[in-house]
């Protein structure tokens, strides 16, 4: 199967970044952003830009959409339940599904609704995209890591791999995608939440000797311990690799939760620290940094 039509659920930073790359390779008609009717109306008159160029990629009402070859979810986990409802009109019997949502729970929820055969597990990492006030800016598009679940048809992985290659999207097909997803959760637990709690940037969170760097590393080390208890072999080498990745990004850039703080949007703290705190309690592991981050971020959200 060759993928020629891609529908995105989510027209934020990640969705615009990868949608624009696919459109550049395959043409604007190959990409559409599908929204429930209420969201479509709210965003109908938005003027979006990607690296200072007008974004002309089309949005489509879910009630008027038709099945796509591939659906890519780029929503926050806070919007996943609504996204699954929006998808119902665009997932046909042969539609493939890839989630780039944060955390480790989205694909299970997707598969419960649409099955595992055409669903892959995945994450994206390494981009320095900032999306504020309708303007997406980035210098590093990062990469996608994805792979099969136990019930995924191998042809699904092959078709998505071929699309990303055709569109020049950096990616890796992972044989142990669960390890990679936990590594990304570890990173988000540290960098996303620390930058949100302190109002920081990639630069301030990696400043040697700083309180933000201590928080960043401590939260990740707690996640590593929980992952090990869950049977995922994360190591200190994985942690060091993630710190090195963030140090290589634009120091003035910031992750999505720090952008949420500026825009006063609901965050994904439940998917990050919430998940770690719940699993830690199950295994009798102490995670004081994640507990503090959870409470601090909730306190900031409550002040809006």
For the chain, list the strands marked E by DSSP.
Answer: 6-9, 31-35, 49-50, 53-54, 58-61, 70-73, 96-99, 119-127, 130-132, 135-137, 141-148, 171-173
DSSP 257-287: HHHHHHHT----TIIIIIHHHHHHHHHT---
Q: Is 208 exposed, middle or buried (0-12, 13-18, 19+ CB in 10 A)?
A: exposed
* pLDDT score at 242: 93
Q: What is the pTM of this model?
A: 0.86
**Low-confidence residues in the chain, pLDDT < 70:** none
Gap between the Cα atoms of 11 and 49, Å rounded: 12
Residue with tokens 């995608």: 177
- Token readout for 15 is 């969705």
- φ, ψ (nearest 5 deg) of residue 262: -65, -45
Write the CB contacts of 188 (distance below 8 Å, at least 6 apart in sequence): 102, 103, 255, 268, 272
* pLDDT score at 127: 86
Dihedral sign for Cα atoms in the order 230, 232, 236, 238 = negative
């Amino acid at each position: 199967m060759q993928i020629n039509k891609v529908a995105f659920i989510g027209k934020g930073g990640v969705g615009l970044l990868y949608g624009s790359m696919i459109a550049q390779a395959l043409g604007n008609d190959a990409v559409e952003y599908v929204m429930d009717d209420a969201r479509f109306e709210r965003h109908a008159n938005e003027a979006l830009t990607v690296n200072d160029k007008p974004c002309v990629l089309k949005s489509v009402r879910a009630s008027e959409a038709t099945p796509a070859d591939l659906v890519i979810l780029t929503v926050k986990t806070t919007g996943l339940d609504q996204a699954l409802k929006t998808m119902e009109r665009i997932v046909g019997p042969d539609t493939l599904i890839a989630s780039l949502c944060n955390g480790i729970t989205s694909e299970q929820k997707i598969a419960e609704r649409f099955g595992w055969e055409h669903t892959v597990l995945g994450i994206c990492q390494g981009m320095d995209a900032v999306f504020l006030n309708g303007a997406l800016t980035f210098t590093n598009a990062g990469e996608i890591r994805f792979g099969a679940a136990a019930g995924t048809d191998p042809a699904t992985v092959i078709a998505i791999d071929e699309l990303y290659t055709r569109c020049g999207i950096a990616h890796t097909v992972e044989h142990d995608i669960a390890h990679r997803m936990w590594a990304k959760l570890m990173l988000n637990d540290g960098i996303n939440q620390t930058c949100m709690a302190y109002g920081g940037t990639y630069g301030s969170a990696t400043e040697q000797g700083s309180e933000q760097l201590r928080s960043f590393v401590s939260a990740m080390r707690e996640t590593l311990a929980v992952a090990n208890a869950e049977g995922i072999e994360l190591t200190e080498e994985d942690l060091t690799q993630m710190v090195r990745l963030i140090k290589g990004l634009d120091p003035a850039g910031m992750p999505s939760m720090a952008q949420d703080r500026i825009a006063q949007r609901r965050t994904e703290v439940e998917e990050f620290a919430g998940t770690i705190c719940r699993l830690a309690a199950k295994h009798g592991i102490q995670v004081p940094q994640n507990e503090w981050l959870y409470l601090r971020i909730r306190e900031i959200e409550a002040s809006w």
